[in-house]
């Protein structure tokens, strides 16, 4: 089962199709179902209840926690680091000096010849 099919069953599929998918899916697919349940989000109450019964994952609490975290970040003025950009400017090629920046230090070892 591919990711597009999983999303389709979660959003458009019947409750029975979702239950079958949960019952016969390997662990990796169940992890994807949890991930997509938060991202989409999953809106069918019977599907949400079956997901909690089968995996113990409470989608309602997860969505409430995400919403509270976003509200808290907005109130504190925090910015997502991924959206903020770099704190340090990367120098362009014109700004970087050409050639070596340091002189190498070599230790010359002389052997005593017998």
Residue 27's contacts (CB-CB under 8 Å, 6 or more residues apart) are none
Asked if residue 44 has pLDDT above 80, the reply is yes
What global pTM score does this model have? 0.62
pLDDT tens readout for residues 64-95: 999 998 888 888 776 666 666 666 777 777 77
Average pLDDT value over all residues in the chain: 85
Give rounded-to-5 percent helix, strand, coil for the chain: 55, 0, 45
DSSP calls for 85-101: --SSPPPPTTTSPSS-S
Query: Roughly what angle, to the nearest 10 degrees, separates helices 27-39 and 3-11?
Result: 50
Looking up tokens 């770099």 gives 86
């Amino acid at each position: 089962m591919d990711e597009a099919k999983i999303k389709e069953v979660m959003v458009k599929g019947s409750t029975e199709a979702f239950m079958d998918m949960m019952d016969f899916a390997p662990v990796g697919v169940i992890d994807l179902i949890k991930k997509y349940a938060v991202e989409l989000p999953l809106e069918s109450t019977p599907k949400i209840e079956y997901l909690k019964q089968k995996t113990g994952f409470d989608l309602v609490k997860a969505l409430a926690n995400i919403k509270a975290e976003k509200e808290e970040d907005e109130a504190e003025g925090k910015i997502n680091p991924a959206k903020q950009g770099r704190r340090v400017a990367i120098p362009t090629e014109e700004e970087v000096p050409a050639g070596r920046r340091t002189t190498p230090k070599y230790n010359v070892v002389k052997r005593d010849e017998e």
